[in-house]
């Protein structure tokens, strides 16, 4: 019993010291790959991927859901006057001729976003003009029907950091296949809400990491999650936590139609 109490107190202490730190909460420094266990994608094959720039530096990912709207994590919020959104990006170190660069007219965070536990971690960014939809830029499909099956194979993508405490991003877009975990509460207990889902690998080794925040988790061709938070990167017993996009379809539709 004393051991159980001690473990509980340690867990609570970690929660108090690190109250919902965005992707990722790090308990100790461990060298990681960019998207852990992933590979560089075929250039421009993930047509909905967006990069969010703050003062001209990439700091978060996003997903094109409408020609003039990108969805991302609310914890990625910055003043819109200092942000830009890039579509058609692959190598962030090079100008490849496919990039579409946008100013951000408006940012709408979910009205119930809670920074402390990252509940409702979702925001929409209105671009200064509609994107040109072409062979390298196209909106993602939203999950308007059906259900997400346990252990469904999903793909997460981004330009995350090369080490846990590092600042160096992958120059090229990477992705990794992960599995959807229906029993997310089992891994994080009271920190999980109905607005969150988990994905990773039961063996560990495949995950998103710092710098991937706000990016897409796509399952069966539909946007099911937004990279939000987690403990460490690619730990077997701490899968990545994602905003549950299914809970926000009506909100996304309303914002797009009325803003």
User: No. of H helices and E strands in the chain?
Assistant: 3, 13
Q: Is 90 an active-site residue?
A: no
DSSP per residue over 135-195, as a string?
SS--PPBP--SS-PPTT-EEEEEE--BSSTT--PBPSB-EEEEEEEES-THHHHGGG--TT
Q: What is the spatial distance between Cα 121 and Cα 195, in angstroms, rounded to a whole number?
A: 8
Cβ(234)–Cβ(206) below 8 Å: yes
Q: Is 75 an active-site residue?
A: yes
Set 66, 75, 90, 110: catalytic member: 75
Set 157, 170, 201, 213: catalytic member: 213
Question: Hey, which bits of 57-99 come out as E strands?
Answer: 57-66, 69-72, 83-87
**CA Rg value for the chain:** 17
Set 51, 72, 90, 121: catalytic member: 121
Q: Is 213 an active-site residue?
A: yes
Active site residues: 75, 121, 213
């Amino acid at each position: 019993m004393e051991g159980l109490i001690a473990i509980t107190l340690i867990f609570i202490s970690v929660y108090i010291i690190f109250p919902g730190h965005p992707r990722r909460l790090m308990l100790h420094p461990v060298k990681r790959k960019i998207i852990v266990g992933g590979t560089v994608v075929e250039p421009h094959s993930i047509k909905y991927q967006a990069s969010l720039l703050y003062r001209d530096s990439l700091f978060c990912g996003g997903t094109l859901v409408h020609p003039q709207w990108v969805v991302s994590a609310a914890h990625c919020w910055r003043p819109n006057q200092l942000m830009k959104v890039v579509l058609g990006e692959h190598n962030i170190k090079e100008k490849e001729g496919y990039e579409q660069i946008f100013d951000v007219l408006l940012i709408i965070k979910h009205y119930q976003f809670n920074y402390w536990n990252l509940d409702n971690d979702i925001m929409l960014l209105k671009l200064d003009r509609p994107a040109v939809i072409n062979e390298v830029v196209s909106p993602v499909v939203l999950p308007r029907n059906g259900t997400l099956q346990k252990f469904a194979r999903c793909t997460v993508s981004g330009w995350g950091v090369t080490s846990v405490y590092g600042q160096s991003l992958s120059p090229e877009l990477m992705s990794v296949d992960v599995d959807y975990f229906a029993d997310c509460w089992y891994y994080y207990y009271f920190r999980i809400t109905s607005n969150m889902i988990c994905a990773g690998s039961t063996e560990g080794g495949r995950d998103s990491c710092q710098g991937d925040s706000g990016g897409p988790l796509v399952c069966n061709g539909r946007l099911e999650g937004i990279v939000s938070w987690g403990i460490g990167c690619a730990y077997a017993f701490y899968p990545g936590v994602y905003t549950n996009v299914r809970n926000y379809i009506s909100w996304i539709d309303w914002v797009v139609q009325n803003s």
